[in-house]
Amino acid sequence: MRMTQKNKNGVVYLSFPELERIAGLRHLFSTRKGGVSRGEFSQMNFSFTRGDDPEAVRENYRRISEVLGYQGRLDVFVTSYQTHTVNIRRVSALDSGKGVTRERDYRDIDGLITNERGLVLTTFHADCTPLYFVDEAHHAIGLAHSGWRGTVNDMAGEMVRRMGKEFGTAPSDLVCAIGPCICGACYEVGRDVYDAFEKKWGREELHRYISKEEDRETLETAVFHLSPNLPEGKYLLDLRNANLRNLEKAGVPRQKVAVTNYCTKENPALLFSHRAQGEKRGNLAAFLTLA
């Protein structure tokens, strides 16, 4: 099912109907609209490290807090410290506010999990994939950032396994969502990326997920697209399909995974994209909480 675009108090955001149906759960994916940041960060930027006015960034968080039902509180957020790893941190009330109201005492964390209410898990994005995990049976959630490095190293599977270890989550317990990222028609990568996938997945497995332009049957599931229009040694990588494959390999039923219809690069007025805007941009954010 497609994501829906919503507006609350002037804040425009995206959400998954599949996750909205779950009692006690709140989530969203931010857009550029509804914040107070200016210039290249306009309007809704969540990064304190890109040169934006810190007070503007805090106000953007305050507005998201209102949307999520936390009355503008900033101490509910817990943020990742992303360095393209598959490292995961279980967070608790002791971590509340880290990354927003106080410094983080951890780094190299691209995934967050918790079973505590009142914490807003937060990851940052500008083409890389947000992955949402919800275990209704054990009242646990997870949120992850997965670019090509996280994807080739199976961040999705690592999240499933870690939630199993920490909370007793079975893959079949999970409802998952793959959020806005750069799509397979836009994400051109080099031979080094292709080789990294081949090394991890194996040649035979990877070739099951390769599509040539004329091969219509494999387009829906293809991870790498080959086209004569691409420069030599270049490929189109579909992060959505790669993460969907990883979730299925980890045991999550396909029918329990929602996949976005939004590409960050194709929607520059709505979403930040590193490929579209380079370094002169803000950061989007994914949010997930047990309210």
Q: Are residues 94 and 159 in the same domain?
A: yes
- The span from the CA of 6 to the CA of 34, in Å, is 11
Residue 243 maps to a domain: no
Residue 99 maps to a domain: yes
pLDDT for 141-168, tens place per residue? 999 999 999 999 999 999 999 999 999 9
Residue 245 maps to a domain: no
pLDDT of residue 214: 57
pLDDT of residue 216: 56
Q: Are residues 59 and 196 in the same domain?
A: no
Please report the DSSP string for 203-260 in residue order.
HHHHHTTEEETT-GGGTTT-SEEE-TTSPTTEEEE-HHHHHHHHHHHTT--GGGEEE-
Q: Are residues 125 and 196 in the same domain?
A: no
Q: Are residues 228 and 267 in the same domain?
A: no
In which domain, by residue range, is 91 found?
A: 4-182+250-290
pLDDT of residue 229: 86
Residue 143 maps to a domain: yes
Q: Are residues 232 and 156 in the same domain?
A: no
Q: Are residues 175 and 196 in the same domain?
A: no
pLDDT of residue 128: 99
Residue 244 maps to a domain: no
pLDDT for 20-79, tens place per residue? 999 999 999 999 999 999 999 999 999 999 999 999 999 999 999 999 999 999 999 999
Q: Are residues 148 and 280 in the same domain?
A: yes
Q: Are residues 29 and 134 in the same domain?
A: yes
Q: Are residues 102 and 197 in the same domain?
A: no
Residue 196 maps to a domain: yes
CATH number at residue 138: 3.60.140.10
Q: Are residues 112 and 165 in the same domain?
A: yes
Number of domains in the chain: 2
274-279 mean pLDDT: 95
Residue 93 maps to a domain: yes
119-145 mean pLDDT: 99
Residue 162 maps to a domain: yes
Q: Give the tokens for residue 32.
A: 């550029």
Q: Is the pLDDT of residue 187 over 80?
A: yes
Q: Are residues 55 and 166 in the same domain?
A: yes
Neighbours of 255 (CB within 10 A): 7
pLDDT of residue 221: 87
- For residue 66, how far is the Cα from the chain centroid? 21
Residue 271 pLDDT class (50, 70, 90 cuts): very high
